[in-house]
Chains A and B, each alone.
Chain A
Amino acid sequence: MVDVQFRFREDEAVNDSAVTVDAFTEQTNATAVRIEPGDDARALLPFLDRLRLIEVNFPAWTDGRGYSSARVLREAGFTGEIRAVGDVVIDMLSHLKRCGFDAFAPDKPLNPADAQNAFDRWDNVYQATADGRQPIWALRHQS
């Protein structure tokens, strides 16, 4: 298993090994699952309360389906860990975080200084997503 390099959670680290979505829906005691790009994250929605960890795999960082998966899970109220695994690169980090990822386990460890810059890059954002940040339009119209 690849190490988690960045984690933005206070709770204890989850080390349960993740099963595939297909295996999960048959195996009722698993607490961690891994979503591949072709999986529909909505298949997990009935089971969110017993999941502690959902890994979202990026076999290639240019395949952006995992961003939608994470948002769908957060929008459904999932509060457990969503971990980006696979080909996770510096330039994805802030966008992944905005879509609800709170842990990152890149195949190849990232330069920590560059990664910190990437996480801190955007002081403001244009869209309301899953990270709870106030978008610019909300800041503009605060009463």
Chain B
Amino acid sequence: MYKYDSYDQQMVDTRVAEFRDQVRRRLSGDLTEEQFRPLRLQNGLYLQLHAYMLRVAVPYGTLNSAQMKVLGDIADKYDRGYGHFTTRQNIQYNWIKLEDTPDILADLAAVEMHAIQTSGNCIRNISSDQYAGAAADEIVDPRPYAELLRQWSSFHPEFLTLPRKFKIAVIASETDRAAMRLHDIGIKMVKNAAGEIGAQFYVGGGMGRTPMIGPMIKEFVPLDHLITYSEACLRVYNRYGRRDNKYKARIKILVHELGKDEYTRQVEEELAHLLTMGIEPPIAELERIKQYFTDPAFEADASDDLDLSDPDFRLWVERNTHAHKQAGYVIANVSLKPVGGIPGDATADQIRLMAQLAKDYSFDELRVTHAQNIVFPHVKKADLYTLWKALDEAGIGTANLDTVGDIIACPGLDYCSLANARSIPVAQKISERFGSSEKQAEIGELKLKISGCINACGHHHAGHIGILGVDKKGVENYQLLLGGCEGADTSLGKITGPGFDENGIVDAVEKATEVYLSNKQDGERFLDTYRRIGMDPFKEAIYG
């Protein structure tokens, strides 16, 4: 994975000094909270319901064991012994003291980490495929391009006070594991007829209160235009994105109001101009970055044999592992969704254990997924049982990846100052209702996503089953959506009808799964059955 050189290190060290100075000016009263707010947000520091929350960047979801260990140590030293992995492949801490934050940033900088632009109206942490460099179906490893974009977007002076936040994802396979088309810019690395690698640009996707699937605006951007094209996209947005209404300020609204063709025309005009400005790093820079993403030293003759005589292990292997491009190896997913647990939370000890296991069994590498789980990308099959045993003993060996128990949920009203309803208790109740592995195995793949308000941090629009918490005259109320999907066949969920209270929504989810089980045909997932039979049978069962 990428290693900082002295320049990268100097940049994060300088940021620590800058933020330390900003905190000093805030504590001395030179800055009011109102003035400080945009500054702290650009460092991922939120003021939540009970305390400051700090969001730490995990660029494109990749980290090494030393970094993971520090994330565990921070949870102990500055928080209450746990951290929360997020849908942006980041981690956040919920009980932070303002005066500690410069020291936390310094601890992070010591292992080449930071909290730069994890919030605020700027270009956020760039997300990617959690199986990058390990899955067989990718055209190239998307992460070098994401790293090039990370450096370009870090402290970009023109784009730090955009109309609204800006999220970029980079993928490189047909199977989209990063919800690419639900980003402000989604980039898919592709190969053209001549066999050259380039970037396909999708602009104006997003969730939030106006969900939109990003249209493709450019089929093939050559690699020596990648940064310039991105800059053109951003400049048009910075100039014309709406600033009169924060709910209409995302680029999806601009692209929608201008129309894809007019937006694209303006980008092309800006591109033609910017290409004469010499802002594109040389291809040699991309080559330099690529050296850090070469394959680890796989054993060429590693065995594909797996002893599956332990039934619990067998279930976990079936559910939580994914084929690796290298024979004898496998991609292993750690579900941070134990039955009744808080989705995405891990204790300091669990985080440090995963760090150690990555060192011992996964070439020192881990990934964070947008589904709030952790991945060991390169595990030798011969080591898999030992790895799972260690996870299971620590309470994170649950076999439920992509099932109804593997819930994405935002922090909701338990923490978040924007939320209308709690998300975590609903996730816990659903997880308990479907607790047994047998039941979950019978239902199979079912992505359930919960947001505690219409900002959609829990991705409810993209859930096969989505739940949206709203405030109904002072009472928490939950709407049910069906048929959303991220990935190559992205679709947005539709609301079934009137909402439910906390217990009612759990019942409604169960009824939806019953409709699926009684209607499913061979090999159909929940989503497939829904797409075939439509909303009506579900409505009937839920409201009938």
Contacts and interface: CB of A to CB of B under 8 A. Distances in A.
Interface string A83-105: 00000011100111011000000
B5 A68 contact: no
Contact of B151 (A63, A129, A136, A139): A136
Contact of B239 (A62, A68, A99, A123): A68
A99 B235 contact: no
A74 B67 CA distance: 41
A140 B17 CA distance: 24
A95 B157 contact: yes
B25 A127 contact: no
Contacts of A141: 282, 284-285, 288
B24 to A, nearest CB: 10
Interface string A56-94: 000001111101100100010000000000000111001
Interface string B15-33: 0011001100100001000
Contact of B157 (A65, A99, A117, A137): A99
Contact of B238 (A68, A95, A139): A68
A89 B156 CA distance: 17
Interface stretch (B191-199, B272-280, B390-398, B453-461): B272-280
A67 B158 contact: yes
Interface string B458-484: 000000000000000000000000000
Interface in A123-143: 123-129, 135-141
A114 interface: yes
Contact of B160 (A64, A90, A123, A126): A64
Max chain A C-beta neighbours (<10 A), residue from B38, B154, B239, B278: B239
Interface in B249-305: 273, 277-279, 281-282, 284-285, 288
A140 B8 CA distance: 11
Contact of B154 (A95, A96, A126): A126
Nearest to A74: B277
Given A122-B14, A126-B151, A141-B282, A99 B7 contact: no
A45 to B, nearest CB: 11
A139 B7 CA distance: 9
A64 B155 CA distance: 13
A64 B161 contact: yes
Given A89-B35, A126-B155, 18 more contacts: A61-B161, A62-B38, A63-B161, A64-B121, A65-B239, A98-B157, A114-B30, A124-B11, A125-B155, A126-B151, A126-B152, A128-B279, A129-B158, A136-B151, A137-B285, A140-B7, A140-B285, A141-B288
25 contacts: A61-B161, A62-B121, A62-B161, A64-B121, A64-B159, A64-B238, A67-B158, A67-B238, A68-B238, A75-B273, A75-B277, A94-B157, A95-B155, A95-B158, A96-B157, A111-B30, A121-B14, A121-B18, A123-B10, A128-B277, A128-B278, A136-B11, A136-B151, A140-B285, A140-B288
Interface of B: 5, 7-8, 10-11, 14, 17-18, 21-22, 25, 30, 35, 38-39, 121, 151-152, 154-162, 235, 238-239, 243, 273, 277-279, 281-282, 284-285, 288
